[in-house]
Amino acid sequence: MRWLVTGAAGMLGRDTVAELARRGEDVTGLDRAALDVTRPGAVEDAVAAHRPDLVVNCAAYTAVDAAEHDEPRALRVNGDGPAHLARACARHDARLVHVSTDYVFPGTARTPYPEDAPPAPRTAYGRTKLAGERAVLTALPDACAVVRTAWLYGAHGSSFVRTVLGLERRRDTVDVVADQRGQPIWSADVAARIADLGPRLGPALHGVFHATAAGEASCGERQHVVVAVGGGQLGHDPLGGLEQFRDPRPNRWKPALASSSRRTW
């Protein structure tokens, strides 16, 4: 089975390529320099050249705050890019795993969102990711998986963990939002779930899936754990809410995803 992974230089993309290679799969990873998913011709050429059985789209515009000020650019990557990939997959009889986000939900619920909860994004980032989901589900109704995940951290790329450890080395104190909660998820675990899911995609198993970890934490709670595990000490000023930091995102409660209800996954 041949796999093609887009966004292969990112955190999840690198882990997905590594996991597939570890399993002995025939996998090709393309970073943004090798494949710009916003260019339909380039997408068509890549899928035609590599002839994958499965495509995993890890390419994304992930600057959540910046998207509030540049939604058209975010939409080109998060909405148009998946649409181009889905259409190319449909033409070449390939299946598609598309990675999405908890931000497609409003973040107002106090219980985790299941896969079939109605999306209602309150951020530009969430709107652009929802556009990508809908494009994929429309173009490949029986041959795709939309895999939603959340606060990823991993061995590669930028993440809350790396940010906190960097601050711990440079500062005595740091402000951290106290009233935003979510589910920290190790990116290698998501990569393994994608590798499990891909070969099973088809008429009997397709649609939306949640790749989550158990439990939840606030940014402040994550900070304390990260610093403690890293062997450092980092004091904090009184932890404030999002309004204190003038966060442009309208959702205070970061959406929590319910674990996938697909028992066969």
**Which residues are catalytic, by number?**
125
Strands ordered across the beta sheet of 144-149: 26-30, 2-6, 54-57, 95-101, 144-149, 207-210
Spatial CB neighbours of 76, under 8 Å, sequence gap ≥ 6: 38, 61
Q: Where are the beta strands (DSSP E) in the chain?
A: 2-6, 26-30, 54-57, 95-101, 144-149, 152-153, 181-182, 185-186, 207-210, 217-218
**What is the distance between the alpha carbons of residues 130 and 74, in angstroms, rounded to a whole number?**
12
Taking the C-alpha atoms of residue 222 and residue 215, their distance in angstroms, rounded to an integer, is 12
Q: In whole angstroms, give the CA distance from residue 108 to residue 96.
A: 30
CA atoms within 13 A on the CB side of 245: 19
